[in-house]
Structure 1
Amino acid sequence: MQCIDAQLIDVLGTVHQPIAPSAAPRIVSLVPSITELLCELGLTPWLVGRTGFCVHPAEIVRDIPKVGGTKDVNIDKIRRLAPTHLIVNIDENEKACVDALAEFIPHVIVTHPLAPRDNLTLFRLLGGIFRAGQAAEKLCVAFEQEYAALQAMPKGLPQVMLYCIWKDPWMTISRDTYIANMMAEIGWQCWCVPGAASRYPAFTWSDDLVGAIAGVLLSSEPYRFTPEHADALEKQIGKPVSLLDGEMMSWYGSRAIAGLRYLRQLVEEPV
């Protein structure tokens, strides 16, 4: 995603134009963290559809129609909502579904933040398209303040950690994900499945794996890991196992500002 010389360019290189000053766009968001961001930008009146996983801010999104999940959307329902803009994400949404929606939605904005600082461009992209530039710049300032505070903190020695997002089968992340780059901000290097093509690969436990890591991080989403999971796994592998707030580690958009504060807390009070 780029915002160069007043051009608003999404991750696929599509150039978007700002809406007309008098326009009332109809936005469908298929990305939970971006739905939250749109609300933060003051665009709630224009949000006409969201997924069932778009749950924040709860008091606002409860009145916005659901259109299915991130990967199993109801295309006919979206068609009836007559959106002018669709916001999707490469990781979250299926290409075939997005292609089908693009046949009748005039403007499709594709996002794919891969690192914390990509949020600055995301704020400005959506703020520019929907004429919410002032609100976007406020978010940029807040982000920069939190990022500077994080960078000013002393970091410990780098550690290889296994970040788990699913069980049965066990699944982890690759190093080119947003989560991995959040981890890297505090010196955690994610353990990766050797030779895996997927960005979110399955893995099996082995002595070599356990020997290569300093500990395990169990995310609260998308799988809802519990303290019981952590206790059982710690006994099984003999390495520290900790629960992490998955939203703080994986949600970009306005949540990333709180996510940076969460990283500082992890540095101050190591898991």
Structure 2
Amino acid sequence: MTASVPSIPSSAAPRLTDWTGRRHPPAPDARILSLVPSLTETLFALGLGDNIVGRTAFCVHPADRVKGVKSVGGTKQVNWQKVTAAAPTHVVLNVDENPKEMADEMAARGIVPVVTHPLSPADNGPLIRLLGDVFGRPDAADDLARHFEDALAAIAAARPVTESRVLYLIWKAPWMTVGPDTYIARTLDLIGWRTWAPPAAARYPEIEMTDVVLGDVDRVLFSSEPFPFTEDHLAAFRADHPDHADKAQMVDGEMLSWYGVRATESLSYLKDLADSASASRP
């Protein structure tokens, strides 16, 4: 979704104001269409499962409950007949995951867009509180947000002084990575892993997998999503780039790119990555 930058960042915005600057009156009886997988999970964690009337096919958590909510399509395209049948009053969207045209069409149909755009781990507290306040679960949101913020303070305090350069891969054919102005990059920075990207790159640039690039990084991280990298891709990389074979590593894309309630669990995953890296140093 391409959107104008709001006059104030989300982390400083009033609790009922979304990323676009729109202030939402509380709607505890809202019928929610969630088109962001990590936020579908967060809405369930806030106790709003009964309010969710639609989701995407990629909204797979919590697995034991989300199957009871009908899918209306994907994050980029929806089946408008299914949207109409679900009769939502609100739709939860994200700037990176959903096209602006979709948000505009939802609004034109009388469905209130609640737009999010977390750019760093620190944005998770305000994000959780936004959803909790808009949909009538402020106390649950405060509990989840405080738990996350305590964990974030702890991992930030333990950030190593020595940094590593990492190439974080999100796609193949073409190869794509993440720029520094992304949630993923700022998440990895919590453990001193600085993402490599071409100078003045877009947020999600295409790259050439060359020895020059690989020589400039300490690790090559193959994310499990959005491209479903597997151990077979690591094996192929090692065969093609034997001088850099030991740099290849699989990482859990959900843990490093999902925000909202997942972010607390992600911090534990980050600590495990950092501990493993430290233990493997000669």
Q: Same fold (TM over 0.5)?
A: yes
The CA distance in 1 between the partners of 2:161 and 2:237, in whole Å, is 25
Identity percentage of aligned residues? 45
1:16 match: secondary structure: coil
Give the CA deviation at 1:156: 5.3
Residues 2 and 9 of structure 1 are in contact (CA less than 8 Å); yes or no, is this contact kept in structure 2? no
Greater displacement, 132-141 / 150-159: 150-159
Instruction: Find the partner of 2:251 among 226, 244, 263.
Output: 244
Q: What aligned pairs does 1:108-187 form with structure 2 within 5 A after superposition?
A: 108-153=113-158, 155=160, 157-187=162-192
Instruction: Find the partner of 2:217 among 174, 189, 213.
Output: 213
Residue 86 (structure 2) pairs with residue 81 (structure 1):
yes
1:8 match: secondary structure: coil
Greater displacement, 124-133 / 200-209: 200-209
Which residue does 1:13 correspond to in 2? 21
The CA distance in 1 between the partners of 2:111 and 2:61, in whole Å, is 26
Greater displacement, 240-249 / 146-155: 146-155
Residue 274 (structure 2) pairs with residue 267 (structure 1):
yes
Alignment-mate amino acid for residue 80 of structure 1: A
Which residue does 1:223 correspond to in 2? 227
Alignment-mate amino acid for residue 258 of structure 1: E
The CA distance in 2 between the partners of 1:10 and 1:185, in whole Å, is 25
Residues 86 and 105 of structure 1 are in contact (CA less than 8 Å); yes or no, is this contact kept in structure 2? no
Give the CA deviation at 1:214: 1.2
Alignment-mate amino acid for residue 255 of structure 1: R
Which residue does 1:99 correspond to in 2? 104
Alignment-mate amino acid for residue 71 of structure 2: K
Give the CA deviation at 1:111: 0.3
Residues 83 and 105 of structure 1 are in contact (CA less than 8 Å); yes or no, is this contact kept in structure 2? no
Which residue does 1:204 correspond to in 2? 208
2:140 match: secondary structure: helix
**Count of residues in Structure 1 that have an aligned counterpart in Structure 2:** 266
Q: What aligned pairs does 1:20-39 form with structure 2 within 5 A after superposition?
A: 24-39=29-44
Alignment-mate amino acid for residue 18 of structure 1: P
The answer for unaligned runs of 5 or more in structure 2 is 1-9
The CA distance in 2 between the partners of 1:16 and 1:2, in whole Å, is 16
Residues 26 and 82 of structure 1 are in contact (CA less than 8 Å); yes or no, is this contact kept in structure 2? yes
Give the CA deviation at 1:163: 0.2
Moved over 2 A (4+): 1-4, 151-154, 193-196, 234-239
Greater displacement, 143-152 / 182-191: 143-152
Change (3 A) 1:241 1:156: farther
The CA distance in 2 between the partners of 1:160 and 1:223, in whole Å, is 21
More helix by share: 2
The answer for unaligned runs of 5 or more in structure 1 is none
The CA distance in 1 between the partners of 2:129 and 2:70, in whole Å, is 26
* Cα RMSD for the two superposed structures: 1.6
Residues 31 and 88 of structure 2 are in contact (CA less than 8 Å); yes or no, is this contact kept in structure 1? yes
Which residue does 2:194 correspond to in 1? 189
Length-normalised TM-score, structure 1: 0.93
Length-normalised TM-score, structure 2: 0.90
Greater displacement, 28-37 / 203-212: 203-212
The CA distance in 1 between the partners of 2:213 and 2:274, in whole Å, is 25
Residues 161 and 215 of structure 1 are in contact (CA less than 8 Å); yes or no, is this contact kept in structure 2? yes
Change (3 A) 1:193 1:78: same
1:10 match: secondary structure: coil
User: Deviations 1:20-72 (Å, cap 9, x if unpaired)?
Assistant: xxx52110000000000000000000000000000000111101010001001
